[in-house]
Amino acid sequence: MAYLLLAAAVLCGVAGTVLVKLSRGFRRWRPALGSLVAYTGATVLLARLLEVLPVGVVYAVWSGVAAVVLLIIDRVFFGERLTWRHALGAGLVVSGIALVHVGGAL
């Protein structure tokens, strides 16, 4: 159950970040308001998760997965260039998350 909440927290954080981009510096109020709602949801979910999972695992997975997902969204939906350095960095992030997760299970 905790990992489902973590996935939901990641999705809320990603949605909040995309909505901030769509708000154009908070000049468009609907996406700006949506970003506040999404970030609030992420914060509430993270608070619940910290009751049952270690903070290092929660934060590493939440921020790392969100960063990789946002890289993909940026490329697919906003047409940003994805270089080999981006791909390498994303791979290292995923590797780091796996190590943190395995390290927490030992």
pLDDT, one tens digit per residue, over 87-104 is 999 999 989 888 877 766
Instruction: Name the amino acid, one letter, at 21.
Output: K
Residue-wise pLDDT for 21-39, tens only, equals 999 999 999 999 999 999 9
Tokens encoding 98? 């796996």
Distance CA 63, CA 93 (A): 9
Domain count, the chain: 1
Show the domain range for 22.
2-105
Which residue from 38, 39, 41, 19 is spatially nearest to 29, judged by alpha carbons? 19
